[in-house]
Amino acid sequence: MARGSTYQSVATGGVASACAAHPIENANVISRLFFAWATPLMAVGNARPLDPSDVWPLQVENQCSIVGRVFEPVYSQKHSILWTMASVFGWDLLWIFIMQVGKVLGSLYGPYVLQQIVLSMESQGGFDATYCFQLIGSLVVVQLVSALLSAHSDLQTQLVALRLDATSRRVKSTGEISNLFLSDIPYIVFVSTQGNQILILPVQIVLILWLLYTVIGWSSFVGAAVIVLTMGSNQVVSNVIQACFRTLMTQKDIRMKAINETFTAIQVIKLNAWEEKFAAKLAIERKTELKLVWRSFCLVTVSTALTYLGPTLVTIVSFAAYTLLQHATLPASTLFTALSYFNMLRQPFSLLAMITSNCMQALVSMQRVNEFLELSETNATSGGVLTPATTPKDQLQDYALYNVAVAIENARFGWDADINKPLLNDVNLTIKRGEFVVVHGSVGEGKSSLCAALLGEMHKFQGSIFVGGRVAYYSQQAWIQNMTIRENILFGHPYDRVKYNNVLAACALSKDLTLFPAGDRTEIGQKGVNLSGGQKARISLARACYSDADIFILDSPLSAVDAIVQNEIFTKCFLGLLRHKTVLLVTHSPEIIASKFIDRIVEVKDGKLMDKAVLGRESTDDMPSSINPLAARRGYPVIGDDDNQVLTTDMPVYKSNDYNTMLSPSTPHHGESFDVFTPVGPHLTFDEDAEVSGQLVLDEGRTQGKVSAAVYKAYVEAAGGWGTLVGVVGVSVLRQGLSIGSDLWLS
């Protein structure tokens, strides 16, 4: 991809939202209060299944780019996700906390109304109907306000979770990416939505106990002692759960890494019939993980049992102390009010255990994500690549005077930030515009690292790097997208048919296109699954060539092709299409290294460069070619704008679309004929209007209507069969029966 160009996604299948803006932005106060702005979407969803085009676009403040610009500077100061959440979303979280406290207070008003009504019925002065109706009316208002507070606090917590989720996704390897997305980030998002309950639930419990004190006196403190004992036991179990989850996450990383490596080498595994061996190794890792899962489940079960046992114990102990120690009777008003408050203790107790457990997991997940966020990164400062726009004017004048395209002066590079561990030392390299430079050396000497240094991807400890133009880079491992062949080559650039056909011919792809059912409109699967290694390499090379950059950094593009194709690409592409471009080619081919058509040879050895010019270099300017070379731009272009130039030189400029001046392959030139070139024309690509489809990945099928009985049956069988279903239903019925029985016994 050319540096400085703007990439536009050309993936098919995306459906843009039909709405220009989120409806809440134009909603009035009443609409916001009662969520009336969501009614149209609910009506559509009630009439038919929703499509992606029905959903509103994100609000600007919830978009990843906006949130990231706010989140990352704060994180870089404290290096803590929890602190960053509090700093960035502190006011939002405070408002959510206030609304949820209001919701809790509203829920406590119901037992108070019940107590007052029962007291009025027990009063010797008679039942005061007016007072009771006033209480009921106030209860309706309080419950309505509580419901609104609950709905709006839930909305705000989801918005905070949405913003947090967009800023937490900076990770490293493929297996760890999968594990962090599937296991860790959901727990961090959970903290953003439910973490404030850690503060609210204890407050709610204290308020209920205070209200119980107003009803049954100091016996409520006996219940409080039971609560403290239960919570202490739960805390011990939670600490064990946290340690267990930390071990579990580590084991998940090991398993996901093994799975990823297995799928990466699946062709070799299937070729050697090693499926059973690798499946057995994966099964061992999965078995170890399941043991840890079972242990965690048992610990969570103990924590849950203590949680559900707590309210019942508190009720029994409190009533026993009230009747036996205080020698008081239990009138209906006291009994029903106390039971209401005791029942209200069950929810915060049960939620407290679950939220505590999830928060323990979230702390582990935050530590793991923090470790990834703390990994060293290269940036514009550490890479230190100068461009024509950032180079001092005097220095740029010197580069322009000598037609310098790439210059490295007295530089030291390393992959680690440790200045004492450089990989490349005392690097000096100057490449003039239009030169063809070949880089070679033994495996592991640093050829790819030299390319990375030119891209600013390595730490530069000293010296300077200058790159005078747009860069197209071919990585050592061919990179293919899940798009059509044409879309992979265009990479968001406008389609120029003649230029496109010349690139295909130069990269030896013309004949390959005739083998695909839809030509260049054939869809390529994930990681180029339906392409050979050589085809992937040539498509990636074609993408770089089509970008029409000024400087081409090509890291071993010929390693996956045979000798015949290698010669064709070298002749047509490097010596033809890129004749007037600056090319730095990494290769192991002895034929290319010994070629007389290259300008210089650079050997990388022991972390240093040995540069030498080619003696008796033959010019390619007089070689007849049916492939018109790409234009060489005059001067140094400003990145992203081909029309603006900083300085100009006397370098010749060729019109890239002047194909009438091409030499025929049969035209003799200086007494020689070069028959290795094949005429190129628009006929090589498929008819633009032809009805052909090269779709490989089909759209996911969607069935509307009710879920069939077969789906439920398959689900039950996958969950363990009918015996498991009967057992789960039986346990659920028993649990509900015991809960009702305990309420009846207490009453």
% of the chain surpassing 90 pLDDT: 16
Phi, psi of 619 (to 5 degrees): -80, 145
**What is the pLDDT confidence band of residue 24, given thresholds at 50, 70 and 90?**
confident
Q: In the predicted model, what is the mean pLDDT of residues 93-122?
A: 76
Co-location of 327 and 428 in the same domain: no
Q: In the predicted model, what is the mean pLDDT of residues 24-30?
A: 81
Most confident of 23-32, 126-135, 235-244, 469-478: 469-478
Most confident of 190-204, 300-314, 335-349, 446-460: 446-460
3-class DSSP state of 650: coil
Instruction: Evaluate whether 423 touches 453 at the Cβ level (below 8 Å).
Output: no
Distance CA 337, CA 334 (A): 5
637 within domain boundaries: yes
The per-residue pLDDT for 614 is 72
pLDDT at 170 over 50: no
Co-location of 318 and 422 in the same domain: no
Residue 731 domain boundaries? 709-746
Q: In the predicted model, what is the mean pLDDT of residues 632-657?
A: 47
pLDDT at 175 over 60: no
Distance CA 41, CA 580 (A): 57
Chain-centroid distance of CA 538 in Å reads 29
**What is the pLDDT confidence band of residue 383, given thresholds at 50, 70 and 90?**
low
Q: In the predicted model, what is the mean pLDDT of residues 439-460?
A: 89
- For 547-583, write each residue's pLDDT tens digit: 989 999 999 999 888 889 999 999 999 999 998 899 9
Spell out the residues 6+ positions from residue 498 whose beta carbon is closer than 8 angstroms to its own: 657, 659, 682
Instruction: Evaluate whether 482 touches 607 at the Cβ level (below 8 Å).
Output: no
Distance CA 715, CA 728 (A): 14
Co-location of 365 and 388 in the same domain: no
Residue 613: beta bridge partners? 600
At 253, which CATH number?
1.20.1560.10
- Structural domain total, the chain: 3
Distance CA 419, CA 413 (A): 9
The per-residue pLDDT for 29 is 82
Most confident of 199-208, 241-250, 577-586: 577-586
Lowest-confidence region among 68-82, 541-555, 588-602: 68-82
Co-location of 216 and 309 in the same domain: yes
Co-location of 227 and 290 in the same domain: yes
Instruction: Evaluate whether 75 touches 84 at the Cβ level (below 8 Å).
Output: yes
**What is the pLDDT confidence band of residue 389, given thresholds at 50, 70 and 90?**
confident
277 within domain boundaries: yes
Distance CA 685, CA 513 (A): 8
Cα torsion at 82, 87, 91, 96 (round to 10°)?
A: -10
33 within domain boundaries: no
Co-location of 369 and 396 in the same domain: no
Helix or strand (DSSP H, E) at 440:
strand 436-440
Distance CA 473, CA 553 (A): 5
Cα torsion at 591, 592, 594, 599 (round to 10°)?
A: 170
Higher-pLDDT residue of 663 and 226 is 226
Instruction: Evaluate whether 498 touches 657 at the Cβ level (below 8 Å).
Output: yes
239 within domain boundaries: yes
Which residue, chain included where needed, has tokens 């739960």? 234
Distance CA 528, CA 539 (A): 10
The one-letter code for the residue type at 174 is T
Higher-pLDDT residue of 712 and 95 is 712
Distance CA 208, CA 339 (A): 11
**What is the pLDDT confidence band of residue 210, given thresholds at 50, 70 and 90?**
confident
Spell out the residues 6+ positions from residue 640 whose beta carbon is closer than 8 angstroms to its own: 4, 5, 6
7 within domain boundaries: no
3-class DSSP state of 726: helix
For 196-200, the CB contacts below 8 A with 24+ separation are: 196/93, 196/96, 196/97, 196/100, 196/157, 197/100, 197/351, 197/352, 197/355, 198/355, 198/356, 198/359, 199/97, 200/97, 200/100, 200/101, 200/104
Chain-centroid distance of CA 454 in Å reads 27
**What is the pLDDT confidence band of residue 330, given thresholds at 50, 70 and 90?**
confident
Which residue, chain included where needed, has tokens 């690798």? 278
Spell out the residues 6+ positions from residue 689 whose beta carbon is closer than 8 angstroms to its own: none
Phi, psi of 514 (to 5 degrees): -70, -15
Co-location of 665 and 729 in the same domain: no
pLDDT at 492 over 70: yes
Residues in the chain: 747
327 within domain boundaries: yes
pLDDT at 64 over 90: no
Q: In the predicted model, what is the mean pLDDT of residues 627-648?
A: 56
The per-residue pLDDT for 16 is 43
Most confident of 265-274, 344-353, 693-702: 265-274
3-class DSSP state of 689: coil
Co-location of 636 and 719 in the same domain: no
Cut 0.85: pTM above it = no
At 408, which CATH number?
3.40.50.300
Co-location of 341 and 436 in the same domain: no
Q: In the predicted model, what is the mean pLDDT of residues 509-531?
A: 85
Instruction: Evaluate whether 697 touches 522 at the Cβ level (below 8 Å).
Output: no
101 within domain boundaries: no
pLDDT at 713 over 50: yes
Average pLDDT, the chain: 77
Distance CA 156, CA 604 (A): 57
CB atoms within 10 A of CB 533: 12
Most confident of 35-39, 603-607, 625-629: 603-607
Distance CA 588, CA 441 (A): 7
Instruction: Evaluate whether 157 touches 192 at the Cβ level (below 8 Å).
Output: yes
Q: In the predicted model, what is the mean pLDDT of residues 430-444?
A: 91
Q: In the predicted model, what is the mean pLDDT of residues 237-264?
A: 87
The per-residue pLDDT for 173 is 54
Chain-centroid distance of CA 496 in Å reads 34
Distance CA 685, CA 389 (A): 39
Higher-pLDDT residue of 325 and 648 is 325
Lowest-confidence region among 3-12, 297-306, 693-702: 3-12
In the chain the first and final C-alpha atoms are separated, in Å, by 75
Q: In the predicted model, what is the mean pLDDT of residues 608-614?
A: 81
- For 177-193, write each residue's pLDDT tens digit: 566 666 666 777 776 66
Co-location of 449 and 394 in the same domain: yes
Write the Ramachandran bin of 419: left for phi over 0, alpha for psi from -120 to 50, otherwise beta.
alpha
% of the chain surpassing 70 pLDDT: 76
Nearest residue to 624 via CA among 669, 655, 657, 571: 669
Most confident of 26-40, 208-222, 284-298: 284-298
Co-location of 406 and 491 in the same domain: yes
Starting at the earlier edge strand, list the strands of the sheet with 608-613: 471-474, 551-555, 582-586, 436-440, 600-605, 608-613
Co-location of 636 and 518 in the same domain: yes
Instruction: Evaluate whether 552 touches 472 at the Cβ level (below 8 Å).
Output: yes
Distance CA 304, CA 359 (A): 15
653 within domain boundaries: yes
The per-residue pLDDT for 376 is 60
